């Protein structure tokens, strides 16, 4: 029967190409739907808005690794269909055909719920607007709409679209984002959680030499609050071997290279004695590697609010100004033990119950 259906499909597809001259996206959607047709009658997870390979931020792809592991842990009995931002938009007609009412959407976490990340926010609105019958959980996001005419307009657009969905959960990635979720989307369930990458296993390393090494993991984009001169000033103010690094790479991060790329990145953090960073995932990678960290502010509340999660870790220190960096580095280098937290037990393993879902451990 399947062989017969396949022949019919291929015959119809060829006729469609020749006779109707259908647009390529229509052909591609039919192909995608046919390829995944076995999922139509199954309850499933749609993990949407993940980063395409050309988005070269290691932190984005590290979140995918962490969330996929979390989904496997709690919903491993359900098939998972991952749709990155491009595929989710392009294959929307096929996805609408494949999705059933019992399917659950999990939207990728990050720092783009706002007008600065309007491309991603537009995709998020598209999913929320097109699947009103499905439960949708937007995983931890930094929420920030600028106090500009554009920011206010985009905020109202998101508020309107989110407000029309009856089964939406919006999780903030820091306390301020949690407050904004409740203020902007009162019809949705909302709470806050740390970044999912903290759920990954911690790493350890032995000190490799007597030379003190400082990793300066600093942003080079429009979220940085530093000028090029200030970045240079940080390294010049420290009497140690300093290496500059950014978690946005020069090459694409292919799906089959996600874990290897994360390992290569974490190796840089493991090789350092202390890290100075204005990257959220620079901070998180440092915590995973159990190294001391000096944190700098960015242009929004991404780190000034998220530092809350690390208040019980003496190895994480927030610098109010660049003049504090040398002193905090010296303090961090004197720390001989690192306190650890079971982030999954404390936070992430609570999410299924909070959103009213049964994890595999609760199913009978």
Which domains does the chain carry?
36-198+346-359 (3.40.50.2000), 203-339 (3.40.50.2000)
Beta bridge partners of residue 288, listed in sequence order: none
The label of the residue with tokens 């749709």 reads 83
Beta-carbon-side half-sphere exposure of residue 125 (alpha carbons within 13 Å): 20
Q: Which residues are within 8 A (CB) of 303 and not within 5 positions of it... i.e. 6 or more apart?
A: 278, 280, 283, 295, 296, 297, 318
The label of the residue with tokens 């944190």 reads 295
CA angle 345/182/115 to nearest 5° reads 100
Tokens found for residue 9: 């499909």
Residue 9: predicted pLDDT: 57
364 residues of the chain, pLDDT tens digit each: 556 455 545 655 565 555 455 688 899 999 999 999 999 999 999 999 999 999 999 999 999 999 999 999 999 999 999 999 999 999 999 999 999 999 999 999 999 999 999 999 999 999 999 999 999 999 999 999 999 999 999 999 999 999 999 999 999 999 999 999 999 999 999 999 999 999 999 998 876 678 999 999 999 888 888 999 999 999 999 999 999 999 999 999 999 999 999 999 999 999 999 999 999 999 999 999 999 999 998 888 888 888 999 999 999 999 999 999 999 999 999 998 777 899 999 999 999 999 999 887 664 4
Closest CA to 184 of 98, 133, 115, 284: 115
The label of the residue with tokens 């109707």 reads 20
The label of the residue with tokens 């990635």 reads 173
- Tell me the C-alpha distance between 47 and 29, whole Å: 18
- Tell me the C-alpha distance between 190 and 288, whole Å: 27
Residue 350: predicted pLDDT: 97
- Tell me the C-alpha distance between 154 and 157, whole Å: 5
Q: Note whether 128 and 158 are within 8 A (CB).
A: no
CA distances from 173 to 138, 143, 191, 275, 320 (A): 11, 8, 9, 22, 21
pTM of the entire predicted model: 0.90
Residue 93: predicted pLDDT: 95
């Amino acid at each position: 029967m399947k062989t017969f259906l396949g022949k019919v499909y291929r015959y119809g597809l060829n006729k469609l190409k020749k006779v109707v001259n259908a647009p390529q996206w229509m052909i591609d959607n039919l192909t995608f739907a046919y390829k995944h047709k076995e999922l139509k009658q199954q309850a499933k997870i749609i993990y949407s808005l993940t980063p395409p390979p050309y988005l070269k931020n290691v932190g984005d792809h590290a979140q995918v690794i962490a969330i996929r592991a979390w989904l496997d842990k709690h919903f491993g009995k359900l098939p998972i269909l991952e749709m990155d931002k491009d595929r989710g938009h392009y294959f929307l007609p096929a996805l609408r055909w494949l999705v059933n009412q019992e399917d659950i959407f999990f939207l990728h976490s990050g720092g783009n719920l706002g007008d600065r990340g309007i491309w991603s926010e537009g995709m998020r609105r598209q999913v929320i607007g097109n699947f009103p019958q499905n439960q949708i959980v937007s995983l931890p996001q930094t929420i920030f709409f600028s106090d500009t005419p554009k920011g206010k307009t985009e905020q109202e657009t998101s508020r309107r679209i989110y407000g029309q969905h009856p089964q939406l959960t919006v999780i903030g990635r820091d306390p301020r984002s949690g407050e904004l979720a409740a203020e902007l989307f009162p019809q949705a369930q909302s709470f806050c959680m740390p970044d999912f990458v903290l759920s990954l296993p911690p790493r350890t390393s032995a000190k490799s030499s007597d030379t003190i090494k400082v990793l300066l993991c600093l942003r080079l984009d429009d979220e940085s609050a530093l000028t090029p001169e200030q970045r240079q000033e940080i390294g010049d103010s420290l009497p140690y071997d300093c290496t500059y690094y950014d978690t946005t790479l020069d090459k694409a991060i292919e799906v089959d290279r996600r874990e290897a790329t994360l390992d290569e990145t974490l190796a840089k953090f493991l090789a350092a004695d202390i890290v100075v960073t204005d990257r959220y995932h620079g901070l998180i990678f440092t915590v995973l590697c159990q190294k001391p960290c000096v944190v700098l502010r960015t242009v929004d509340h991404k780190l000034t609010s998220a530092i809350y999660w690390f208040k019980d870790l003496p190895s994480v220190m927030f610098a109010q100004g660049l003049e504090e960096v040398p002193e905090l580095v010296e303090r961090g280098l004197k720390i001989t033990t690192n306190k650890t937290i079971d982030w999954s037990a404390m936070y992430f393993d609570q999410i299924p119950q909070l959103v009213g879902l049964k994890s595999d451990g609760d199913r009978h």
